[in-house]
Structure 1
Amino acid sequence: MFHGTFSFFITYLLFSSTFATTDPPSDEDDSCGIIDALPYIVVGGGALMFGGPAALGYLGFTTKGIAAKSIAAIMMKIGAHINGGGVAAGGVVSTLQSLGAKAGASALGGLGAKGGYYYHKYFVCEKNKKSTSKDAH
C-alpha cells in the first residue's frame, strides 16, 4: 500500500509540477525554475501526506466521525450555531471531516505539493528578485 501511494505521489508531483507554470522564464539566473522548486514541492507534499492524517485525527476529524470533546466538535458546534442549526456543506468543518473520514493522504499530498510550489514561487523567488533588483541599482 505504501509503495503504491508513494509512487503515485511522486508521479503526480512530476506531472503536475511540469505544467504548473504558464509564465515564460524571464531570466535564467533567477533560480525560480521548476527544478529549483522541486525540493519545496516534495517537502510540502510529504509533510501533508504523512502528517496530515495524523493532524486531522488529533483535531478530532476521525474515520468514524467527529470525536466528542475535541477541537473538531467545538468547530462543529460554532459552525452549527452560526448557520442556524446545521453545518454548511462545503465549509471548513465538512471539508476537514471529509478528509479525515477518507484519510486522504494522496489528496493532502497534492495540496502540500501545490503549497510548496506556491511558497517557492511567491516567497523565495520574489525575495530573490527583490534582492537582485536592489543590487543592480
Structure 2
Amino acid sequence: MFRGTFSFFITYLLFSSTFATTDPPSEEDDSCGIIDALPYIVVGGGALMLGGPAALGYLGFTTKGIAAKSIGATVMKIGAHMNGGGVAAGGLVATLQSLGTKAGTTALGWLGAKGGYYYHKYFVCEKNKKSTSKDAR
C-alpha cells in the first residue's frame, strides 16, 4: 500500500508541476525553478505521509472518530461553542477529522508537497533574491 501511494505521489508531482514559466529567462541563475524545489517537495510530502496519520491520532483525530478528552475534542468543543452548537462544515475540525478518519496519506502527502514548494518559493528564493540585491549595491 505504501509503495503504491508513494509511487502515485511522485508521479503526481512530476506531471502536475509546471515546467514552463511566463517570465522571460533571466541572465542570472536564481535557482528558484521547479527542479530546485523538488527536494523540498519530496521531503515535505514524505514527512506528512509518514508522520501525518500518527500526529493526527496523537491529537485525537482517529479512524474511529474524535477521541474523548483529547486536543481534538477540546478544539471541537470550542468550535461548536463559537458556532452556536454545531461544528462548521469545511472548518478546521471537520477537515482534520476527515483526514484522521481516512488516514489520508495521499491528501497529507499533497499538503506536505505544497508546503515544501511554498517554503522553497517564499523563504529560500526570497532569501536568495534579497542577498543578491544587497550584493549588487
- TM over 0.5, shorter chain: yes
For 1:46 and 1:115, the matched residues in 2 are separated by 11
Q: What's the CA shift string for 1:8-62, capped at 9, x where partnerless?
A: 0110111123x27754354551111111101000000001111111100000000
Residue type matched to 2:41 in 1?
Answer: I
For 2:45 and 2:67, the matched residues in 1 are separated by 26
- 2:13 corresponds to which residue? 13
Aligned length in residues? 136
- 1:87 corresponds to which residue? 87
Which runs of structure 2 are paired with 1:28-47 in the superposition (5 Å)? 28-47=28-47
Which runs of structure 2 are paired with 1:88-127 in the superposition (5 Å)? 88-127=88-127
Residue type matched to 1:120 in 2?
Answer: H
Structure 1 segments (4+ residues) deviating >6 Å: none
Stretch of structure 1 that moved more, 66-75 or 4-13: 4-13
Q: How many Å apart are 1:3 and its aligned residue?
A: 1.4
Which sections of structure 1, spanning at least 5 residues, go unmatched? none
- 1:59 corresponds to which residue? 59
Q: 1:98 to 1:8 in 2, by over 3 A?
A: same
- 2:69 corresponds to which residue? 69
Which sections of structure 2, spanning at least 5 residues, go unmatched? none
Residue type matched to 1:3 in 2?
Answer: R
The percent of aligned pairs where both chains have the same amino acid is: 86
